[in-house]
Amino acid sequence: MKVTVLVDNTDGIRVKGEWGLSFFIEYDDKTILLDAGLSDLFAENAEKLGADISSVDIAMLSHAHDDHANGFEKFFELNDRAKLYIAADCYEDCYDRHGLFYKYAGIPRGILKRHNDRIVRADGKMQIADGVWLLAHSTPGLERVGADARMFLRQGLFKFVPDDFRHEQSLIFELDDGLGVFNSCSHAGADVIIKEAQEAFPGKPVKAMAGGFHLFRKDDEYVKEFAKRLSSTGVEKIYTGHCTGARAQAILREELGDRMHDLSAGLEFEL
């Protein structure tokens, strides 16, 4: 399979980046778009990189945050056939807390209603094509992660609860010798997500993990401990960027060696 990074925080040689993430994935006879970044930039970059958005067979939203969902209005303009797979609990309810105030940080308002005929809700472990799966979180207690990250779900006019990432899902590919796992922000922890995949697919090792790891606010010691946990999963290739953060990426390179690869807009790699 071939992966082209349409959007990442880091600029590429041929294309610009933004705070967001978008992958164009060619797997067997299917073309899959994972996330569409913060704006229409994913489509501009796709044209420059020779990635035909109109040819996408399947689109998937990793979670209900604006920096991964905002580009999907443009996607629906450019592609008139592919279904967009979202988590069963993906709604317009994601907020960040700034002091005493909550700021909306979710999917474009009204997009679910405007494109209802193109949207498929996924839950648990769901196959969407030969060798391609979606996997919801099975790990309890993730609301602690949401509270620590100051991320909340709105429940009622004035009620906000810590985000438990019920709207987040992993995209998993069957490879010749194991699994390739994509999770664009890995809020639960990339090590936790790998373990979820291993439990869902017994006997199949996770060979590669790709996505943001949401470490940009973590201190150095936390990142070093995270690197040890990630290493203990046995994953052989790691591709990360976006919300991982440049400082954390430098630590991961030091701790994980040549298993670690930085994402950037325009990067291409094969699994």
Per-residue model confidence as pLDDT tens for the chain (271 residues): 999 999 999 999 999 999 999 999 999 999 999 999 999 999 999 999 999 999 999 999 999 999 999 999 999 999 999 999 999 999 999 999 999 999 999 999 999 999 999 999 999 999 999 999 999 999 999 999 999 999 999 998 889 999 999 999 999 999 999 999 999 999 999 999 999 999 999 999 999 999 999 999 999 999 999 999 999 999 999 999 999 999 999 999 999 999 999 999 999 999 9
pTM: 0.97
Place of tokens 């373990």: 195
Cα separation, 186 vs 195, in Å, equals 12
Residue 86 β-bridge partners: 121
Question: What are the residues facing 180 on neighbouring strands?
Answer: 173, 208
Q: Please tell me the predicted confidence (pLDDT) of residue 186.
A: 98
Q: What local confidence, expressed as pLDDT, does residue 149 receive?
A: 95
Q: How far apart are CA 109 and CA 77, in angstroms?
A: 17
> For position 167, what pLDDT does the model report?
98
| Cβ atoms of 184 and 68 closer than 8 Å | yes
Separation of alpha carbons 235 and 239, rounded Å: 11
Residue 27 has a pLDDT of 98
Amino acid making up residue 209: M
Q: Which run of H or E residues covers position 70?
A: none
Which residue in 133, 166, 159, 154 sits closest to 60, CA to CA?
A: 133
Count other Cβ atoms within 10 Å, centred on residue 103: 8
In this prediction, residue 52 carries a pLDDT of 98
Dig out the tokens for 198 from the structure.
């291993």
Q: In what order do the strands lie in the sheet with 151-154?
A: 101-104, 94-98, 151-154, 160-162
